[in-house]
Amino acid sequence: MGAARDPVEIGLLVYPGVQEAAVLGLTDLFQLANRLASERSPDALRLRVTHWQWQEASQTVIPTFDSEPRPGYGPAMVILPPTLGDPIPREAAAPYADWLRARHAAGATLGSVCAGAFVLAETGLLSGRVATTHWAYRDALAIRFPDILLDADKLVIDDGDIITAGGYMAWTDLGLKLVDRVLGPTVMIETARFMLVDPPGREQRFYSPFAPRLNHGDEAILKVQHWLQARGARDVTLASMAEHAALEERTFLRRFRNATGLKPTEYCQHLRVGKARDMLETTTRSIDQIAWDVGYDDPGSFRKVFARITGLVPGDYRRRFGV
């Protein structure tokens, strides 16, 4: 048997008005995934589930539940569950914003479900980025945070370091998506089957979305990754990336590959292809138009890159996975 690996911590933020059924449901989903993973392999990676709440006495967010008590906390992923009531007021959400920004800056993936998007948006991290929420909260979110590129027609938007889910029960989709990221598609499918819920549509496909490595600990590279994600990797050069990281180009190249496992050019290609896949699935735009939209001046080059990364040419991908 191999040496035990530290579990991957997923934090659930218990903010005012949060739906406790979703908090408990996500906790059960992740613990079920652990059980199914361990049945397949005793050495399987595990998920550690923690709950976090604001404490007035210390004026900070503290852990209030831990499925696997051990020293030290550091959520690799933080989820803001839904609420059935009115969206949280800005003044009530503000205390959580600094903590969430700090977790994100440390490499954590942030996720929201339904009206949890209002808490996430208070951090400013959704500004200029595509996000979703429940259709009933669409107008309220757009009015409060007009800089968000809101697409409430989508159930889940996976933008790498930030994932937003729309429907109230979409906590199952978001939870299964994170299980797929950490424990793999087999455990995710088994978890969905046991719970009698449909697995997220994207994860049923052979070609999984690009999930960039964010918890590598290199703050300069993480800053560039967040910048690339927000820009969709459009109109970027090696020089501009190195400048954004405040590093000399050769040093940046070495550290970027060590941190992400990819060269900067390959990383940008994966981000662009991820955006293109989404457009092929959900729009009727021509393939040439999609190529231009994601940053390729030459549609022929786009087709070659797309086929190399996904294993399908764009037309075949649309025929197979288009809505």
d(CA 28, CA 49): 9
Are 23 and 161 in the same domain? yes
Are 182 and 237 in the same domain? no
Can you give the pLDDT at residue 88? 95
d(CA 213, CA 131): 21
Are 169 and 291 in the same domain? no
Are 178 and 267 in the same domain? no
Are 44 and 115 in the same domain? yes
Can you give the pLDDT at residue 1? 47
Are 190 and 264 in the same domain? no
Q: Rounded to 5 degrees, what are φ and ψ at 129? A: -120, 155
List Cβ neighbours of 129 (8 Å cut-off, separation of 6 or more). Answer: 148, 149, 159, 162, 229, 230
Low-confidence ranges of the chain (pLDDT < 70): 1-4, 200-209, 323
Q: Which residues pair with 60 in a beta bridge?
A: 55
User: Is residue 212 assigned to a domain?
Assistant: no
> Could you say which of 163, 195, 227 is where a domain stops?
195
Are 189 and 272 in the same domain? no
Are 72 and 180 in the same domain? yes
User: Is residue 66 assigned to a domain?
Assistant: yes
User: Is residue 16 assigned to a domain?
Assistant: yes
Are 116 and 264 in the same domain? no
Percent of the chain with pLDDT over 90: 72
Q: What range does the domain containing 89 cover?
A: 8-195
User: Is residue 13 assigned to a domain?
Assistant: yes
> Could you say which of 195, 230, 262 is where a domain stops?
195
Can you give the pLDDT at residue 3? 56
165-169 contacts, C-beta under 8 A, 24 or more apart: 165/111, 165/112, 165/113, 165/114, 165/132, 166/114, 166/132, 166/133, 166/134, 166/135, 167/114, 167/134, 168/19, 168/22, 168/82, 168/84, 168/113, 168/114, 168/134
Are 54 and 110 in the same domain? yes
Can you give the pLDDT at residue 204? 27
Are 62 and 130 in the same domain? yes
CATH number at residue 29: 3.40.50.880
Domain count, the chain: 2
User: Is residue 153 assigned to a domain?
Assistant: yes
Q: Which stretches of the chain are DSSP H helices? A: 20-40, 90-105, 116-121, 138-144, 171-183, 185-195, 219-231, 238-245, 249-260, 264-282, 287-293, 299-310, 314-321
Can you give the pLDDT at residue 206? 36
User: Is residue 208 assigned to a domain?
Assistant: no
User: Is residue 296 assigned to a domain?
Assistant: yes
d(CA 46, CA 4): 10
Are 21 and 129 in the same domain? yes
Can you give the pLDDT at residue 150? 93
User: Is residue 241 assigned to a domain?
Assistant: yes
pLDDT in tens, 203-251: 323 335 677 888 899 999 999 999 998 888 888 999 999 999 999 999 9
Can you give the pLDDT at residue 117? 97
Report if pTM > 0.85. Answer: no
CATH number at residue 229: 1.10.10.60
